[in-house]
Amino acid sequence: MPNKALREQLSELHGELASAAKLDPELRAMLREVARDIEKVLEQQDAQDQPTGTDPLQDRIQQATVNFEAEHPRLARILGDLADTLTKLGI
């Protein structure tokens, strides 16, 4: 179930990235990198592998959430939801 929630939140993030016109290019690149890392985690989960090296992913998600809270509250909420789901998965 958490994998399904993570996939839905990742999809929501992709949608917000596509529609966010006033997004700093550096922050957009950071979000894309986070999204790619989450996709890798999901692939590992699907393959029944134990994810490795995901602590920096949590750190980047938390930093991105802080960066977006004021100007992009919807993105901040999505990132917060992603972080919560990753925590529930033990990642």
Q: Are 78 and 13 in contact (CB under 8 A)?
A: yes
Q: Which domain holds residue 27?
A: 2-88
Q: How many structural domains are present in the chain? A: 1
pLDDT for res 55: 60
Residues of the chain below pLDDT 70: 1-2, 48-55
Query: Residue 59: is it exposed, middle or buried by C-beta count within 10 angstroms (0-12/13-18/19+)?
Result: exposed
Whether 73 contacts 52, CB under 8 Å: no
Looking at residue 48, its pLDDT comes to: 63
The pLDDT value recorded for residue 49 is: 53
- Taking residue 86's Cβ as centre, other Cβ atoms within 10 Å add up to 21
User: Who contacts 7 (Cβ-Cβ below 8 Å, separation ≥6)?
Assistant: 42
- Provide the whole-model pTM: 0.61
Cα–chain center distance at 13: 7
